[in-house]
Structure 1
Amino acid sequence: MLDRYVFAFLLLLSSSLTIIHASPGDADPRYRDCIRQCQETGCVGPKCFPHCTFSSDGELVGRPWYMQEPLYLQWKKWGCQSDCRYHCMLDREKENKLLNLGPVKYHGKWPFKRIYGIQEPASVAFSVLNLAMHFHGWVSFFILVYYKLPLKDEKKAYYEYASLWHIYAFLSLNSWFWSAVFHSRDVDLTEKLDYSSVVVLLGYSLILAILRSFNVRDEATRVMVSAPLIAFVITHVMYINFYKLDYGWNMTVCVVIAVAQLTIWAVWAGVSRHPSCWKLWLVVIAGGLAMLLEIYDFPPYEGLFDAHAIWHAITIPLTYIWWSFIRDDAKFRTAKFLKKDK
């Protein structure tokens, strides 16, 4: 959970230099010449791309490449520009290695090795594992609340926040799904879907933090608290999708929501007498330490494992601990209600 919130805050710090300064890789004249020659000839050295064959008027020869193969094979394929950039990047990195120079970023990204057409394999794998961990946590929570803990006469759970956590689980699964898709293929659509899902999850998690920490159980009060935040999130998502994807503004929104949410959870963990608040502290502290990976960015080891991918890996056990806390909270609140009934 907190991994997505921490990411919003650290993204502002870690990527600000990327936003302000051009990446050294794509500013390299040799790299630019390679791109130009590739788009003119359809080749990078001995490797040629059929979908980069142009006519004299600059149009692609024949039908578009994505219409020439079955749909199940299309996900492996890239456009002419992407293939030219990728293979020119590999050539330049080989030259840099021979000169004992370290990797540099191209178009704001480290040079990753593709595996089966996947742009950032490690980040994709860890995003999928985070998704699986959230699914496991939600299923175990569902079984606990509706099959192991006592229920009311109308077969409803005593735990009054159960429905809210179900929604949270769905939004988390959605967010990690689009994270995996975005790291698989970084295009305008997948970028917007990933950013939008993160904003929605952040906004809802802030609502959930407020409702749980202040123990808001009345439905009318919940609506009054949630409505302004929901309206703002919807407006922001529409803005970045249909008007302008302003990276700076989007980061500011995410940072404000994330800091507010983290502050609420941290204060609540400190003042409450919850028997499992140590798990919440563990997630907050470990997530804070993991943030250093986003600040002290480093190139991918063997073209696969960069700081961001390792950070995704660390959030996997933190997700397990977080859902363990949620289950403990359900047990704690249910026992409290049953004690009052007696």
Structure 2
Amino acid sequence: MADRSWIVFFATFFSLIGVLNASAGDSDPEYRACVGQCEKTGCVADKCFQHCRFSSDGVPVDGPWYMQEPLYLRWKQWDCQSDCRYHCMVNREKEREIAGYKPVKYHGKWPFKRVFGLQEPASVAFSALNLAVQFHGWVSFFILLYYKLPLRQNKKTYYEYTGLWHIYGLLSMNSWFWSAFFHSRDVDLTESLDYSSAVALLGYTLILAIIRTFNVRDEATRVMVSAPLIAFVTTHILYLNFYQFDYGWNMKVCIVMGVAQLLLWAVWAGITRHPSRWKLWVVVLGGGLAMLLEIYDFPPYWEYLDAHALWHASTIPLSYLWWSFIRDDAEYRTMNLVKKAK
């Protein structure tokens, strides 16, 4: 489906290729020398940073880091090392551009220009828009079920998958929220939250794909299907966060879960007579084509817009169409059940 669920395994696969290999930029001797000098002096060329003040033995002159750099200042101004890396990268890229060279990656990332302290402003903006689309889709789904479609005598909905899609909406919004944070500031904490929320969403959407495509309505059967997958995803997230953040293993897990649910939705769209199956086909095929942006990686245009940011942009209309399919499915199932009840 068209957000950080079944397509996240593609992003994981292609983005981690750059992480697992050393980047050309941070291997550049001139860049490394600049960073080393900056961390000693607190300056890059004529630009100096007040939170990079050290004594001769390397101890901050203003006392411990928690007295010198409050958390809100660290988020707004970054810390000494990240500022040194950023400004050395900017200066080095200017030198490379004058010499006629193309941009290269630094520490696994293209050289982006900050906007209000945001590390990847375009990806942040598109992640925020995806969050807005997920919120709109979830609210419109809620309004359709409880205010437009018939309800049972006990005020519950006829649609058997109501609760499952509510959980999906919450997990999707949570995932895009942390995606925006991660792209605004790439540190260990935001990376962990982004990867963990994406894996949780991916695992849940696999469960949801199995239950919906096989039309599992019995609660006991749903528990039997969900329990082992929930246990596995939970263990995997704990392993990443508290034992070893293994990018390669996480990539394999994401690929398996992503391929499994993609195949389920594709086969179901091919054999079902659902009136809105065309929307599902558009989402599946559109999501696959959007992944070409992850394959064709290129430096950011105007220092802001790269392939990954455009991939985030492409998921916005696909996510909107996906929620449209969910609403159609709810209406289709509800009207069929109402007819049977009469």
| TM-score after normalising by structure 2 | 0.97
Report the counterpart of residue 26 of structure 2 in structure 1.
26
Question: Is 2:142 the counterpart of 1:139?
Answer: no
How many Å separate the matches in 2 of 1:95 and 1:251?
36
Within 5 Å, give how 1:178-327 maps onto structure 2: 178-327=178-327
Q: Secondary structure at the match of 2:25?
A: helix
Q: Which amino acid aligns with 1:31?
A: Y
Let me know the Cα RMSD of the aligned residues: 1.4
Quick check: 2:123–2:180 contact (8 Å CA) kept in 1?
yes
- Tell whether the 8 Å contact from 1:7 to 1:291 is kept in structure 2 after alignment: no
Fraction of identical pairs, as percent: 71
Distance of 2:195 and 2:188 partners within structure 1: 11
Say yes or no: does 1:118 pair with 2:118.
Answer: yes
Instruction: Please tell me whether the aligned partners of residues 293 and 307 of structure 1 are also in contact (alpha carbons under 8 angstroms).
Output: yes
Cα drift, residue 11 of structure 1: 3.0
Shift of 1:71: 6.0
Moved more, 90-99 or 54-63: 54-63
Aligned match of 2:10: 9
**2:43: which partner in 1?**
43
Task: Tell me the CA shift for residue 114 of structure 1.
Answer: 0.6
TM-aligned CA deviation for residue 3 of structure 1? 3.1
5+ long unaligned stretches in structure 2: none
Preserved contact between residue 8 and residue 202 of structure 2 (Cα < 8 Å): no
SS, match of residue 58 in structure 1: coil
Tell me what 1:108 maps to.
108
Q: Which amino acid aligns with 1:316?
A: I
1:45-74 C-alpha deviation (Å, 9 max, x unpaired): 000011111111111110356645776555
Q: How many residues align?
A: 341
Per-residue Cα deviation, 1:257-280 (whole angstroms, up to 9, x for no partner): 000011101101111110001001
Q: Give the whole-Å Cα distance in 2 for the aligned partners of 1:194 and 1:114.
A: 20
Please give the residue correspondences for 1:65-76 in structure 2 after superposition, counting only pairs within 5 Å.
67-68=67-68, 73-76=73-76
**Does the 8 Å CA contact 1:150/1:157 hold for their aligned counterparts?**
yes
SS class of match (1:3): coil
Q: Supply the distance in 2 between the matched residues of 1:136 and 1:9 (Cα, whole angstroms).
A: 25
TM-score, scaled relative to structure 1: 0.97
Mapped contact 2:51–2:68 kept (Cα < 8 A): no
Structure 2 match to 1:77? 77
Q: Secondary structure at the match of 1:75?
A: helix
Distance of 1:104 and 1:112 partners within structure 2:
11
- The CA deviation string for residues 280-319 of structure 1, in whole angstroms up to 9 with x for no partner, is 1001111111100000100111110000001101110111
Q: 1:13 deviation in Å?
A: 3.6
Q: In the superposition, relative to structure 1, how do residues 70 and 30 fare at CA in structure 2: closer, same or farther (>3 Å)?
A: closer
Q: How far has the Cα of 1:339 moved from its partner?
A: 1.2
Unaligned runs of 5+ in 1: none
> Is 2:51–2:69's contact at 8 Å kept on the other side of the alignment?
no
The CA distance in 2 between the partners of 1:301 and 1:8, in whole Å, is 25
Q: CA deviation at 1:165?
A: 0.2
The residue type paired with residue 262 of structure 2 is L
- Contact 1:144/1:327 (CA < 8 Å) preserved in 2? yes
Pairwise CA distance, 1:77: 1.6
Cα deviation 1:152-194 (Å, max 9, x = unaligned): 0000000010110000000000000000000011000110110
Say if 1:73 and 1:81 are closer, same or farther in 2 by CA, change over 3 A.
closer
Counterpart of 1:163? 163
Q: Structure 1: how far apart are the matches of 2:318 and 2:35?
A: 42
Match for 1:8: what amino acid?
F
Deviations along 1:179-232, one digit per CA (max 9) or x if unpaired, are 000001100011011000011000000000000000001111100000000000
Amino acid at match of 1:61: V
Name the aligned partner's letter for residue 213 of structure 1: T
Q: Give the 3-state SS of the residue equivalent to 2:7 in structure 1.
A: helix
Retained in 2: the 8 A contact 1:9–1:259? no
Q: Distance in 1 between matches of 2:55 and 2:73?
A: 26
